[in-house]
Amino acid sequence: MTRTANINGTGLFYVMGPSGSGKDSLLRALHDRLGPDDRVVVAHRYITRDADANEASVSLSADEFARRAGLGCLALHWRSHGLHYGIGLEIEQWMARGLKVIVNGSREYLPHAVARYPQLCAVHVRVKPEVLAARLRQRGREPEDAIARRLARATEAFAVPAQCRLVEIDNSGALADSAEAFARLVGVVSAPAS
């Protein structure tokens, strides 16, 4: 039995949803609610592009990302939209300590994540198409044709393994409402910081 098998079920929440659905905002809002007694950690994500100030990401060159993946430093890693994304192996130490860990994942990679962590809870953040289109344009990262591709991809079905617990959070409205639903899901009891 591997070490990974021994820590399954200790509290991994795998957040996913289309680009622009507000995953980073939701993770930031959850982080802002954490008090000293909340045993919850929002993991940073490694990515091969410049990290946005609004996301919990660490920028790595493609070579450094490949080096870390080759050294076994990444618990989860995938490629999407020409970029590499990864979650560090440190999440296993945190879960072994009984902490609940929140990661920003990918819908396409979910079956692989469930294969490694069968007891994870998948959290799908969704938004209405018109809200998603407005957010993608406001973000200003991509040209209109790339936005059109992201909008088309957002409506595609994705594979959810039969044994996987899936929770949907609608983030089309007020962030405070979706953040409250997310906080209840992961067991955060602290009020938002003022």
Residue 77 has pLDDT above 60, yes or no: yes
148-178 pLDDT per residue, tens:
887 888 877 888 999 899 999 999 999 999 9
Is 24 labelled as part of a ligand binding site?
Answer: yes
101-113 pLDDT per residue, tens:
999 999 999 999 9
Is 70 labelled as part of a ligand binding site?
Answer: no
Q: Distance between CA atoms of 26 and 21, rounded to whole angstroms?
A: 9
133-153 pLDDT per residue, tens:
888 888 777 788 888 887 888
Residue 32 has pLDDT above 60, yes or no: yes
Is 23 labelled as part of a ligand binding site?
Answer: yes
Q: Which residues contact 185 (CB under 8 A, 6 or more apart)?
A: 13, 121, 123, 167, 169
What pLDDT is stored for residue 58 in this prediction?
Answer: 87
**Percentage of residues in the chain with pLDDT exceeding 70?**
90
Tokens of 167: 């929770």
What pLDDT is stored for residue 192 in this prediction?
Answer: 61
CATH numeric code, 9-184: 3.40.50.300
Question: pTM of the full predicted structure?
Answer: 0.85
Is 22 labelled as part of a ligand binding site?
Answer: yes
**Where do the domains of the chain lie?**
9-184
